Structure 1
Amino acid sequence: MQSKGLWVSRWMLLLGLLLAFIAPVRAEDAGRSVLLIEAEGPLTPAMVSYIQRGVRTAEERGAEAMILRLDTPGGQIDLMNEIIQVIRESRVPVVVYVAPRGAIAGSAGTLITLAGHAAAMAPETAIGAASPVGGSGEDLDKTLERKAKEALKAQARGLAERRGEKAVELAEAAIEEAKAVSASEALEAGLVDFIADDPEELLARLDGFTVQVQGEERVLHTAGARIERLPMNPIEQLLHVVVNPNVVFLLFTIGVQAILIEISSPGGWVAGFIGVVCLALGVYGIGVLPVNWLGLIFIIVAFVLFVLDVKAPTHGALTAAGIASLVAGALILFNSAGAPSYARVSVPFVLGVAVTTSAFFLFIVTKAIQAQRAPAMTGAQGLVGATARVRSELNPQGTVFLMGEYWTAEAEDGPIPAGEEVEVVGVEGIRLRVRRKQ
């Protein structure tokens, strides 16, 4: 009996030791988290700010890693370099994940993917086509193109060297030949580390993977980690959206119209405030997008013509010229030769805005012409024929409400109860003569 009790005691002790060892491990696993941020669309300053905030948040929360889900056609090189620098300086491993299905890491997105401490792609995604273009989207001349390509190729080699010779060759081809490859081709060449359908599968594949973070090796423990999503805040979303060329064109159109309304009808502030805000956001968008400044001149000329037609009506001739200038300006502003697709304005959208704007100014011009042709009505003469509402019974005198004011009035055709509408037929000093409205 004593021997059996000793045997049981030993097993209980062993079980206790195992539980003491396993419990902290499980608690540690349960406490692990991975931050997920989602960068979609062309590179913008707002996107850079968002990624910076994501890295800071991941560091503050002690996250095991940060997943940067990327879907971008590319953008300016200086913005790309800022994002790469953020990844380099991060104390948390950054995993660049090209997703969802159909996504692309194009142009600058290629080098951002290479800069990740680990890289992955979803099935049916693509990466590459990283040839440089000019600031307005145009093709560079041969000398500048060669210099730009060599600089980018050197940067790509530096980022891809740890991935092997095939990865370096493919990265250089993406810049030299604008070559793009599928997820499976990128994986085969070593350009990325994994293919994963979703973030959960990616975490499973990352578990046990070794990365270099600020020169030190780190083994990722992502199995069972919870995914914490960090969306863009409202300001980042707004500044990211306004770099769409269609939105920029619309903001300029609304802004100029609002300013013109404020100028033509001074005294208020709502129209002027809206105009200033829209123009400020439009200028921000133009500062990010590749544009042809000649187009902006055409747009300004268009609104000058609209104003002239309002001030000195020409029966729509200047408005028609303004329409043509507005459409031409919008198309020239963003649709310069060689501009990437994300920096081009939609022609149907431009035509729709032009038609709406033209209808607005044609309405104003029509009203201006009618006002010029109408006989002058001033003082008491201007009140004759107006409609008033009886406030206190006219028997025969009482009060009426006319044009925002109360007037003493006298009825010509017998008592009129309160609430009835009357017509002004004459003015005697500060007293109106009225009769029932027929």
Structure 2
Amino acid sequence: MKRYVCLCLFMISCLLSPVCEGAVSLVQVQGEINGVQAAKLSRAIENAEATGQEAVLLEIDTFGGQVDAAVRMRDRLLRSQVPVFCYVQPRAWSAGALIALACDRIYMAPGSSIGAAEPIPATEKNIAALKAEFAATAGQRNRNVQAAAAMVDKTMGYAPYAAPGQILALTSLQAKEAGLADGVADSREEVLRLGGLAGSAVQQRQEQWQDGLAAFLAHPLVKSLLVAVLFLAVMTEIKTAGTGVAGLIGLGAAVLLFGEPWFGGSGLGLETWLFAGGVLCMLIEMVVPGFGVFGVLGIAGILGGVFLALGGDGAAVGWMALSLLIASILFWWLLKRLPSSPLGRHLILEDAETTAAGFMTQTVRQELLGKTGTVVTPLRLAGTVRLEDELLDVVSEGEYLPAGCKVVVSQLRGATIVVRRYHEEEEEK
């Protein structure tokens, strides 16, 4: 009886668990290349590596899309531990051509095409950068480097398919002749046969919620709005003297902004570490006295991280400016509306300590002017000093004064006592 129970449990476990080993995972890249496509491909490769699948079959039908998403897909393909076969059906243009070149093998359907990857805008910088990506990718896969570069830079030309001044795009047969495609295949089954995997089961991967979230967060407008929330949180924290509510909202916006590559399965990028380093420098500046070096580094790190998160190009500057404008408008609106709102009445103290209510204002102590004392707590602009036998709250003229430093009362601003460092030569005079 025990033997039959064990056998039944084994059969049930086999039925419930996915049959992955020996199978081929199918990933379809259709439409615009974006964050969803990048996330879907990355997770499919991770799953294939983890479950011991024979290969990943990548079907491409795209006019192109976002270059940053295509570059992420290219990088993940080059790192893949399982073979990735590309099947172009019917086209892999622009960013799609870069993805195809990064695969281990390229098979094209009859009548399909590949190429036409000139960037928009076609500036010298964009062309040079993208041409280098195409050439390096083709070289990594032992393909025709010159033909790959001519897909981006039309000044090169590639005889006999494109004269100088014409961007290169190839049909299936031309791509095979040029050394970019490995063959022409009529179907998926033909691709698997040519790749030595005839008869392998094909499993199509379904999109997950992380893929959709990554795509949503990857949209430039969404990123710009998250940066606006981040800027607004900083302004609000400064205005409210650090209540913490705006800080938590800003932290959530930062997690969504810099966590987008992680949701997409690409891991945390340079922009995340740069931003985190900037925040760390700002925290150091708050607790360690200095000349503002950590503060400058912190601001540079935070702005640099935001710049890279928004794309790291000329458009990123525009998105940052838009974010700052949105944050400024919202901050102005909050200043006008928040005090009279139900939330503002809970946060803002409306009671006043008036003379009619029995409160007395602090008197100006003119007798303290010119007196000397000793700093008790470090004056990071404000702190405590001992004047004779009395402890008083004071502010410095702007200089950091450590504990034990001798000071003199230099001026009185109403009830505020201002001190500066005392110099011994003043005694001689």
User: TM-score w.r.t. structure 1 length?
Assistant: 0.45
Larger Rg computed on CA atoms: 1
Whose helix fraction is larger, Structure 1's or Structure 2's?
A: 1
User: TM-score w.r.t. structure 2 length?
Assistant: 0.46
